[in-house]
Structure 1
Amino acid sequence: MITALRKNEKMAGPRCSSRLRLMAFIAVSFSLFTSGTSTAQVPLLMWSQDGLPQLASPAAGHITSKEQLTAYLASVFGSRPHTVLLFLQDKLSKDDFTVFGGVFGNKQDSAFQNLEAALQSSSSSVTLPALEWSDSSAVLTLLQEKLGVSPVLVDADTLSHLTLNTSASNLLLINLPYCTGLDKKSCKEVLHDNDEIIGKVLSTMKDKNVPYTAIYTGLLPSRVILDTSESSQAAGRSLLQTAAPTINPPITFNNESGTPCILLWAKNLNVSLSRTTETVDLAAQTPRLTGSVCNDSNSLLVLNYPNFTLSFAMSQRKYPVSGRNWFTLDRVELLNGGLNASFRSRHIYAPAEYSYHCQSVSNFRDPLLELSSISLNTSEWRLNFVDFQIQGFSLATGNFSYASDCAGFFTPGIWMGLLTSLLMLYIFVYGLHMIMQLNTMDRFDDPKGPSISVPQSE
């Protein structure tokens, strides 16, 4: 890859600037290596001050598999300690470089100026235009295995105050956002801000005089290409035909006898730690359930993720008023970087033989979770479960029981309809009552006979 980069620089000619040559190579490589493929991919850029093993240039259309990346990382990170900077963007695809890289226009329009400068100034760099994407934690998990350390979540501001031990390996994780709308201008602004963060982090590492290896990739492809091979298509007409959505299984914890005793499912989980926001797909990552326990009266589910730990404490007891057992979610605890935040639940309960379901469980915006221990470091922490369902007792099978939903029967729409109907019914009854009170006259004025005289009293 490095040899190919030098050949492209020679072919560019003296009139083309080095910055433009570099981004042109990246964009052309991405467009050549990923054209005609139908598998979701993310690009990966790696550069180092210590030098990287040479990687043969892949053939056009080649997609780097997870096994190939694992073998290459094993050759990069040997037995000696390494400091790795992982710039993990929420979404990234090769189109982001071709559209926002300023390759065919003015180099000042590029949204990756600091990234280009870092690739130019490094002793060696490697570009993987099409890395096979399987799940959002693949690259982070591989780095953890090769380095043997857990990642430390940092940003450009906290890195300057962080002391790094160069005698041991360090894995520094810098999360970068991605645009959510379809406006190209907003996407370019977000990528430009991310590039400024990359430049600030690299400048801090230069001031600390710590050698490092940097990796820039994405959690998800920003443009996912669905696999529509002929083998997966059904024969015949497909007018108005839609594929059934894939439903991921819930997180299951089994007791000592191997029987499921706790089930948890959520579409996704948004975790906000001060200025850093991370979105985790609970189905895409498999957490370690170390520390989870369950019995007839109490259940504790502990989810150990690479960056944080979540625990759900539940209990059940019999309420004499209702004459039945109810279970409650007592608290939710979030542990990150030695800091602990405990959230107590509000109205999260259900009959012991039921499960609990709610479309949104959060500690803000109609909160069902309240921060019980408020401190300066955890006061801005936020949790938001989307399409949340949990059950910690009375699991006869591996499936959820009937769900007790947090949404009441009398929603605002139902109340508006009832009140409107009652108002219309009142008007109708009042009008009918007025009509029935009308009385006809017992005598009528006959023009042929004497007229009716009405005596007037003074």
Structure 2
Amino acid sequence: MAENLILRFESVTVVFSVLLNVFSTGVYGHQVPLIMWSSAGTPFPEASPAAGHIVSASQLSSYLWSALSSGPHTILLFQQEKLSIDDFTVFGGLYGNEEDGAFPNLKSALQASTSQLLLPSVSQLGSSSILQLLREQLLTNPLYVDPKSLADLHLNASEPALLVIQLSCSSGTDLRSSKKDLRRADQVIGDVLNIMKEQAIPYTAIYTAQRPSLVIREQSPDVQLVGRSLLQTEVYTPVQFSNTSNNTCILFWANNFTVSLFKTSWELQDLTSQTFAQVPQLNGSSCSGTDSRLSINYENVLGFKSFSVTFVMRLLYYTMSARKWFILDQILLQYDNQNATFNDTRNIYAPGEYSYRCESVSMSNNLLLNSNDNKWILSFRDFQIQGFSVTNGQFSYASDCASFFTPGIWMGLLISLMMLLILTYGLHMIMHVRTVDRFDDPKGPSISVPQNE
């Protein structure tokens, strides 16, 4: 029975793939800048990306390879806790004439360098994996240092070295404290560069951050506004889980995610912002070629100190359709050493290389049924998930849960049939119109009909 349903669903999917254009969902908001320069060597062979382009982890690896192939192999990685491209605009640009800017040492280093590269928007996934990328390309382990210990460290310019300098910042949110933090980080950069200059060691420096100081929400390109509207719908970024090779293998996104619990009455909590507006805790998640688990951990949900939602997915091969399909096997709720399981989720499935999307996933449309604890309700709006065959950290073509003959299609078909019947009846009436055989001429003799007496 399940194979027959999947076979019919596959035929509908093929029709949609012919009629619709393939699109992918972009990742918005979580980007950090990256500045790279060298004290010696030829200019980097690759030019800066176009404005507005978000550099992925694979593209960042290409940039690093090009820089290391032409520049020194002594790498200085300045990692700041928080940084955004707007920090350079607000607190003093790198190439302007600001006398009171927050980056005097960084500006001087860039002006003195013949090889430099500015990447305004690097995906947070790429920035978090930069240390691993440098380790793989240099074939050496990182060494965490500070300016005081760096002065006593004797480096050999002929051997590769990866030096990591952590630049911390305070938790202040006002502009004055933020500028002081950036000035303090810039001073550390200046001290390190002066030590390298004194030791006459050529270097390639990289300045980036672990996460953005300002998360920019952009409007999804498929959102259409009717008339004038002051309220915009906030578009969140998908939850991404990466394997040990730093390749994204699970994606999950929803425009709204709520959980309800019945105690003496129904209590509801919105988990949307805790899931998508920040980087969630994914402890317990895993992915392989046939099984994937996405476990999202929360705190203080509906009075429970620990709370987690786990999506269990499997990739199965069906002989009747001769292809692989991924199925959302179950959804597990774990709260303060208690469990609740949503087992009846077999209607959530898609081809193995596709993602699954549905406008609404809840108990009301029978896509999510609770089998062992009726006091829990999960509800998703604009739900999309993919547990296998994720490429470039983006969703694949979406297999939608909407049936082929939607109410709008039925209405269009009925109206078209009604118009066709009216047109056919009109043509039939026109084709059967007849005129008289003879006409009376008023200028000639009148028509006389002889009568026999």
Say whether the fold is shared (TM-score over 0.5): no
Specify which structure has the bigger relative contact order, considering alpha-carbon pairs within 8 angstroms and separated by 6 or more residues.
Answer: 2
Query: Taking structure 1 as the reference length, what is the TM-score of the superposition?
Result: 0.44
